[in-house]
A and B are shown apart, each in its own frame.
Chain A
Amino acid sequence: MSIISKEEAKKILEKALSYSKADEMSVSLGGGRTSNIRYALNSVSSGGESDNMSLLVTAGIGKRMGSATINEFNDKALERTVRRAEEIARLAPENPEYMPMIGPQTYLETPMYSENTAKMDSEFRAQVAFDSVDACEQKNLSAAGFMQDTTGFSAIANSKGLFGYNKATSVDFSVTVRTADATGSGYVTRDFNDISKLKTRSVTGIAMQKALASTNARALEPGKYTVILEPTAMGTLLQSMMSGMDTRLADEGRSFLSKKGGGTRLGEKLIDERVTIYSDPMNLEAPSEPFAGEGRNRTGSFLGGGGAVGDGRPQEKITWFENGVVKNMSYSRFWADKKGVKATPSPTGFIMAGGSQSLADLIKSTDKGILVTRLWYVRMVDPKTLLQTGLTRDGTFYIENGQIKFPIKNFRFNESAVIVLNNVEALGTPMRVGGNLIPPVKARDFTFTSLSDAV
């Protein structure tokens, strides 16, 4: 397996740096294994494994930058790669926004690694798929699911003395369960750092229950409804908001955080005062990476291309929205330097604070409303208002007098996360979705614009 210790990584990185003739140089090493199993129609359809470790060398010469990667680590190969990065840098055009590399940093030791996940094998994966399929077969239901697990590390260093190392594991599991007559469909997804937290059979049971309960769906008129967005649905809606916290875009008048007349909405109350969203790499339930990463994702980020590790800024706990007020926005180092402020990197994961109510409590307190399991094909319509369109999917139910009354046909929506977070009625207990912690959210006046026949 392509995972090495902190000491071994440091040795390789220091050796690579020792060959540098550039003004400055950064090196990053990433490696690991990713494996998956996929099934559909209650039968395995594909599965595989990929192992990789590679080194990315970035040379800075004046305001020019060049990168090269390699996946062999003997002295000769390291020197050759350093020379190649320097050569590419010399040939590159000057970047007027080039920023000198940063010096030594202190990084958090985030709790992202689990030995249980690291030691998974193909028999174990086959058992996971079997547990999910078997539960469905017993009820004459059809399962289509996917599980991917990653075990990897990343290490960074530069010629100014910076060094960081992190190792992590992750597991992503999802299953869609459909009734034999294809009139009902249910979905569930779970992700963890530690595989022992994944209980496939019982989790699949949630999707099975939704599939069975969603047959014979009735059509409601499109319009504005109170909705309870389960964490999976709310997380999807929040993605574009949380990836749009960049100050430069807002300063340029191109973001939902742009102020009319110029500037940003930093310090303004933009959403309901019950909403607080922050990032915290040390959160035990949803830890995130200790280095700032541009273009990193949670799974598979260690694989390929030497890893796009970013500029090595340390991640720390940052509050983005506090009681509805825009508390912090992210900066590239260039823009922060130009503005004379701290260069806060954008988060790799986020946590939306919630309340103590369960999903059942939220349903119980609802006179009339719609329960949404999952949102699908969500696309930006207008980045200035964060208006997005998409559809409900795999379990949409009508609630009346505190009870789920009947399944309903899926809707298309056109709605902005900013409007949803202004219309909050109640927040439930957060749970982990896609590496983030998100509560179920009850919000009024959610805009459904048309009906879909899709099941």
Chain B
Amino acid sequence: MPKIPALARTVTAEELLEPGLDIAIKKRLADVALNAATAKGATYADVRIARYLNQYVMTREDKVQNIINTESFGVGVRVIANGCWGFAAMGETQSEDDVARTAEKAVAFAKAHSRLMKKPVQLAPQKGFGEVSWKTKVEKHSFEIPVKEKTDLLLAVNGAAMSNGADFVNSTLFMINEQKYFASTDGSYIDQDVHRIWPNFTVTAVDKSSGLMATRESLSAPMGRSYDYLQTNPTDKLTGVTTRYNQGYDMLEDATAAAKQARLKLKAKSVEPGKWDLILDPSHTYLTIHESVGHATELDRVLGYEANLAGTSFATFDKWKSKNFNYGSKEVNFFADKTQPGSLGDVGWDDEGVKTKKWDIIKDGILVNYQAIRDQVHMLGETESQGCCYADSWSTVQFQRMANISLAPGKERLTVDEMIKDVKKGIYIIGDGSYSIDQQRYNFQFGGQLFYEIKDGQIAGMLRDVAYQSNTQEFWNSCVKVCDERDYRMGGTFFDGKGQPAQINSVSHGSSTARFNGVNVLNTGRKI
């Protein structure tokens, strides 16, 4: 269950709709911060004046467990002084004196720490954009929907699950609005209004006589959208062995299916361990992409800045420089894109004032680039940041965070049914489950929500106790086919953690259904 975010205060639902600080005041405070920092010797400064609004609605069976509305407002100032980064932040203030003091504190931190610095920060040049703005396309603002409508929806979802075989169900709506004002000594004043939503549930079925338990989680994706994600058109649904969703999510329908499937999972055949061909649905693949490609190609990890916790990366500079490192098969093309509409990473500018864009990471199976920010891109021989800098609060310092990293659809026309028809012995995996990967992103293990056995091109019933283990390079080289763009869908994570102290990031990963040959599957059933 989520907790009240650090440094946030609880508010009423109505207060979530109140306008934030007037933009003229924000600009004045920003100028105060930038001037105070440069007056104390900063050679660069940026300031974020930000308001974060969250609403979480949590239910269990026929009960509303909690409704949390929070607002967090504050100012974060980042500077370079003596060639070293410094950062300080202050919450709940509109005072020019407070903001100036915060900027001065950031400069003092930079100077104190500069004695431990080996090389001065080298910042890629960035032109100022003047006064600009960007906002998520919102058709139905989440906070304008009455709380009652949300609790009614979740209780109906729970009711549908319980009347279709669930023993327990938890359902949740996460809704987020980030109102961020960024200014820097480069001459940018950027105002952004970012929305995200994640409806989700977990259905549990228990068989007390056998001692077995099965869960089925929702097949929704967290999205860079608002409440309109909960409206569905027939074109948003992909029917088949189970219904999957694209631009709109039918929570009630999915919960009904989930309850029936959780009961079926209790009776499903336990998987025979060994080599299987895998057909992976985008609702599953996003997490494998996230862990084995997204994190592995973050330049700060490659360089060693995350060595103490998140780790480093196998995708080292020599592999990139060789221009022939086969990250995957020729079918495998990955791109980073911070402009994909509806994605969690979709913004106009990143948190250091760089215009967002799209770029290739892996092309025809070859590693061609990384994800890098302003103080890193010179190491790639580039002069412009890729625009993937982010901080999860005004109170935390921005650093390199994962862009949306997606697997490009196959170029040849291919449907999921056509793909399955060719498989002799396979498992079709839908939804994400347990996940783990080593600190250099070689060895991973993934579970899932639904596992269907494929025998001679036909779905032959459900399996349970399935997890697959592989090595990143071996796995992506076993990718033999990717369905075409008609099947392209996004998954994502709302709470990707990185850094010390830890920060979260929201990021999407798109793909079409893909086939991987001869992957090692293990049976996770145990007795205690």
Query: Which residues of A approach B to under 8 Å, CB–CB?
Result: 36-50, 52, 54, 67-71, 84, 87-88, 91-93, 95-97, 122-123, 126, 129-130, 133, 142, 144-146, 148, 174-176, 178, 182, 185, 187, 252-254, 256, 258, 260-262, 270, 295, 300, 303-306, 308, 376-387, 389-391, 393, 410, 412, 414, 416, 418-419, 449-455
A41 touches B305 (CB 8 A): yes
Contacts of B443 in A (CB 8 A): 391, 410, 412, 450-454
The answer to whether A384 touches B212 (Cβ under 8 A) is yes
Q: Is the CB of B118 within 8 A of A43?
A: yes
Q: Would B6 and A300 count as touching, CB distance under 8 A?
A: yes
**Cβ contacts under 8 Å, A37 to chain B:** 113
- Chain A residue at minimal CB-CB distance from B168: A252
For residues 101 through 128 of chain B, which have their beta carbon under 8 Å from a beta carbon of chain A?
A: 109, 112-113, 115-119
Output the residue of B117, B440, B471 with the most chain A CB within 10 A: B440
Does B522 have its Cβ within 8 Å of any Cβ on chain A?
yes
With A252-B206, A452-B438, A455-B440 already in contact, the answer to whether A146 and B116 are too (CB < 8 A) is no
CB-contact partner of A48 in B13, B89, B399, under 8 A: B89
Partner of B113, one of A126, A144, A175: A126
* Residues of the B chain whose Cβ atoms lie less than 8 Å from the Cβ of A39: 116
Please tell me which one of the listed residues A40, A92, A451 contacts residue B307 in the complex, with CB atoms under 8 A apart.
A40
Tell me if B164 is interfacial: C-beta within 8 Å of chain A.
Answer: no
B276 within 8 A of A: no
Does A44 contact B117, Cβ atoms closer than 8 Å? yes
A387 to B86 Cα, complex, angstroms:
43
Which residues from chain A contact B440 at a C-beta distance below 8 Å?
A: 452-455
Q: How many A-B residue contacts, CB cutoff 8 Å?
A: 240
Please state if A146 and B500 are interface contacts (CB–CB under 8 Å).
yes
Residues of A contacting B395 in the complex (Cβ-Cβ under 8 angstroms): 50
Q: Using CB atoms, name the residue of chain B closest to A70.
A: B9
A93 to B501 alpha-carbon distance, docked (Å): 36
A44 touches B84 (CB 8 A): yes
Which residue of chain B has the shortest Cβ distance to A422 in the bound complex?
B528
B65 within 8 A of A: yes
Considering only residues 203-219 of chain B, those with a C-beta below 8 Å from chain A are 204, 206-213
B308 CB contact (under 8 Å) in A144, A449, A452, A455? A144
Question: Does B416 reach chain A (CB closer than 8 Å)?
Answer: no
CA gap between A449 and B208 in the complex, in Å: 30
Choice from B89, B308, B501 contacting A176 with Cβ under 8 Å: B308
A271 nearest in chain B by CB position:
B528
Residues of A with C-beta under 8 A to B522: 414, 449
B31-39, B223-231, B245-253, B429-437 - the one binding chain A: B429-437
B447 adjacent to chain A (CB < 8 Å): yes
* Chain B residues, CB < 8 A from A387: 524, 526
Residues of chain A within 8 A of B309, CB atoms compared: 146, 174
Check: B303 CB closer than 8 A to any chain A CB.
yes
Set of chain B residues within 8 Å of A45, measured between Cβ atoms: 85, 305
Kindly identify which residue among B91, B209, B442, B500 contacts A36, using a CB–CB cutoff of 8 Å.
B500
Q: How far is the CA of A393 from the CA of B113 in the complex (A)?
A: 30
Pairs across A and B, CB under 8 Å, 7 listed: A48-B87, A71-B91, A126-B116, A129-B116, A185-B307, A376-B439, A385-B527
Given contacts A148-B501, A261-B209, A410-B438, 13 further A-B contacts (CB under 8 A): A44-B116, A46-B85, A95-B63, A95-B64, A144-B305, A253-B206, A260-B209, A261-B208, A262-B208, A300-B501, A377-B436, A389-B436, A454-B440
The 3 closest A-B pairs by CB, nearest first: A304-B6, A305-B4, A452-B443
Complex CA gap A169/B13 in Å reads: 36
Q: B445 within 8 Å of A by Cβ? A: yes
| Cβ B208 vs Cβ A256 within 8 A | no
Q: Which of B115, B304, B527, B528 has the most CB of A within 10 A?
A: B528
Q: What 1/0 flags go to B59-96 for Cβ under 8 Å of A? A: 00001110100100000000000001111110110000
In the docked arrangement, what's the CA distance between A178 and B440, Å? Answer: 13
Q: A379 and B438: CB pair below 8 A?
A: no
Kindly list chain A residues whose C-beta atoms are within 8 Å of the C-beta of B360.
none
Q: Which residues in B have their C-beta under 8 angstroms from that of A145?
A: 308
When distances are taken between beta carbons in the complex, the residues of chain A under 8 Å from B314 are 453-454
